[in-house]
């Protein structure tokens, strides 16, 4: 089966470009240019150099001995948390700003949830000397203060958004509104594998450096270039897309994705789009969407600002619907336990988003010979207040 995008921008039933008239020209320009730019020698050279010398790639593939002992298999962590700015998001923003420059754009906008994409965008704008506006829901501004301060120091304007439940969906709405007002000079750097075609494919390709490196690193460490399992958390889906990209057609490799269950699937406070969503259109793409009976988008909830989104990348909707990926909804408490477990067993404090895939481990049944690669998408610095609030909850921080 083909899991890649087709020439019309669809992954099976999902994807496409459902956009207002005013954006047609700039989205079509991007559709026409992105592959040509991505495949050009000058882009590849500049992108590779910045990934290596600026972002610090390749990120290590670390054999987690104590975590492996706990789960009875061989677990490797793909350490995206060690990238410059602390997450995988920089892989994408470096690529997109290079595309923006080649298309003659002079102003950058972005949305952000956890602030990691906002920081990564503000960072490359400082590097390239381009003005940058980042839209961020007021709820997220409050819970991710450290990242707001970083964006401001980097010279970006952070615009708090107060519509809806003031999180990622609302920030994205506002960024699209801005884009509609400035289609000619502005490039919208989307932070995940969401949005109208070609964004999901463009972001997946830019993040695919993750699986490209996994191949080489596994060959060195295990003598074979594929794992039995690939595991990643999924908000919009970019770190997961990067993790699985070169293995999509390799049926030896099982794909397990962790989405945010919030307080539970039936609690009314969840962001588990793949389990709870129905087909619909959000932010320019046909995908699974959390919506009411009459099609209004439901407010998602997750303890993690980066997974708190009522849609999902069309690539992942298709992987879930075709059965290629198994998707688990991991609740807040399971994620918090996963974060403390990694911290105490391996000395690595993960981002709350990444904590969701760690929280999926107790539900897995591995064989001792299984090789598991789990992507730690980001570091936990921005989440310290949430973690510290759990220190006196033994059911989360204890029993290790």
Ligand X SMILES: Cc1ncc(COP(=O)(O)O)c(C=O)c1O
* 354, 358, 374, 386: which one binds ligand X (CB under 6 A): 354
* Comparison of 123 and 192: residue with beta carbon closer to ligand X: 192
* Comparison of 331 and 377: residue with beta carbon closer to ligand X: 377
For residue 194, the minimal CB distance to ligand X (Å) is: 8
With binding defined as CB under 6 A, does residue 351 bind ligand X? yes
Residue 323 class from Cβ within 10 Å (0-12 exposed, 13-18 middle, 19+ buried)? exposed
x/- mask, ligand X, residues 188-217, rule CB under 6 A, reads ----x-------------------------
> Which window, 170-178, 260-268, 351-359, 384-392, contacts ligand X (CB under 6 A)?
351-359
Q: For 262, how many CA atoms within 13 A lie in the half-sphere containing its CB?
A: 22
> Which window, 59-67, 238-246, 250-258, 391-399, contacts ligand X (CB under 6 A)?
238-246
For residue 143, the minimal CB distance to ligand X (Å) is: 12
d(CA 57, CA 97): 18
Residues 40-99 close enough to bind ligand X by CB under 6 A: 87
Number of residues that bind ligand X (CB under 6 A): 21
For residue 368, the minimal CB distance to ligand X (Å) is: 29
* 233, 255, 303, 349: which one binds ligand X (CB under 6 A): 233
Residues 103-142 close enough to bind ligand X by CB under 6 A: 113-114, 116-117
> Which window, 12-20, 63-71, 230-238, 319-327, contacts ligand X (CB under 6 A)?
230-238
* 353, 357, 359, 373: which one binds ligand X (CB under 6 A): 353
**Residues annotated catalytic, as ranges:** 89, 111, 377
x/- mask, ligand X, residues 256-295, rule CB under 6 A, reads ----------------------------------------
For residue 306, the minimal CB distance to ligand X (Å) is: 3
d(CA 176, CA 183): 10
* 9, 15, 200, 235: which one binds ligand X (CB under 6 A): 235
x/- mask, ligand X, residues 369-388, rule CB under 6 A, reads --------xx----------
* Comparison of 74 and 316: residue with beta carbon closer to ligand X: 316
For residue 309, the minimal CB distance to ligand X (Å) is: 8
For residue 236, the minimal CB distance to ligand X (Å) is: 4
Three-state SS across the chain? CCCCCCCCCEECCEECCCCCHHHHHHHHHHHHHHHHHHHCHHHHHHHHHHHHHHHCCCCCEEECHHHHHHHCCEEEEEEHHHCHHHECHHHHHHHHHHHHHHCCCCEEEEEECCCHHHHHHHHHHHHHCCCEEEEEEHHHHHHCHHHHHHHHHCCCEEEEECCCCCCHHHHHHHHHHHHHHCCCCEEECCCCCCCCCCHHHHHHHHHCHHHHHHHHHHHHHHCCCCCCEEEEECCCCHHHHHHHHHHCCCCCCEEEEEEEEECCCCCCCCCCHHHHCEEEEECCEEEEECECCCCCECCCCCCCCCCCCCCCCHHHHHHHHCCCEEEEEEEHHHHHHHHHHHHHHHCCCECHHHHHHHCCHHHCCCCCCCEEEEEECEECHHHHHHHHCCCCCHHHHCCC
- Which residues lie near ligand X (CB under 6 A)? 87, 113-114, 116-117, 192, 233-240, 306-307, 351, 353-354, 377-378
């Amino acid at each position: 089966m083909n899991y890649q995008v087709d020439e019309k921008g669809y992954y099976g039933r999902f994807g496409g470009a459902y956009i207002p008239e005013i954006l047609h020209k700039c989205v079509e320009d991007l559709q026409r240019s992105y592959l040509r730019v991505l495949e050009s020698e000058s882009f590849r050279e500049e992108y590779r150099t910045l990934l290596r010398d600026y972002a610090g790639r390749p990120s290590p593939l670390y054999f987690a001995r104590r975590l492996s002992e706990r789960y009875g298999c061989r677990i490797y962590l793909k350490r995206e948390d060690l990238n410059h700015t602390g997450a995988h998001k920089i892989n994408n923003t470096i690529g997109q700003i290079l595309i923006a420059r080649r298309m003659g754009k002079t102003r950058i906008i972005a949305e952000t949830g956890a602030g990691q994409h906002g920081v990564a965008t503000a960072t490359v704008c400082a590097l390239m000397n381009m003005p940058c506006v980042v839209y961020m829901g007021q709820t997220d501004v409050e819970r991710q203060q450290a990242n707001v301060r970083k964006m401001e120091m980097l010279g970006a304007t952070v615009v708090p958004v107060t519509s809806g439940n003031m999180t990622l969906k609302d920030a994205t709405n506002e960024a699209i509104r801005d884009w509609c007002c400035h289609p000619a000079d502005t490039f919208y750097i989307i932070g995940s594998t969401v949005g109208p075609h070609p964004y999901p494919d463009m972001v997946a390709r830019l993040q695919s450096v993750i699986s490209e490196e996994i191949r080489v690193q596994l060959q060195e460490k295990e003598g074979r270039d594929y794992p039995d399992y690939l595991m990643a958390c999924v908000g919009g889906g970019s770190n997961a897309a990067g993790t699985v990209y070169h293995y999509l057609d390799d049926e030896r490799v099982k794909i397990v994705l962790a989405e945010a269950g919030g307080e539970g699937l039936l609690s009314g406070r969840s962001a588990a789009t793949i389990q709870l969503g129905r087909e619909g259109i959000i932010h320019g793409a046909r995908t699974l969407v959390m919506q009411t009976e009459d099609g209004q988008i439901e407010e998602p909830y997750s303890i993690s600002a980066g997974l708190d989104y009522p849609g999902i990348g069309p690539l992942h909707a298709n992987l879930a619907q075709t059965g290629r990926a198994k998707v688990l909804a991991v609740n807040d408490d399971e994620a918090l336990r996963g974060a403390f477990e990694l911290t105490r067993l391996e000395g690595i404090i993960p981002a709350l988003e990444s904590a969701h895939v760690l929280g999926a481990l107790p539900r897995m049944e591995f064989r001792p010979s299984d090789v598991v690669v789990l992507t730690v998408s980001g570091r936990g610095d921005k989440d310290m207040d949430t973690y510290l609030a759990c220190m006196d909850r033994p059911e989360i921080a204890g029993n290790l």
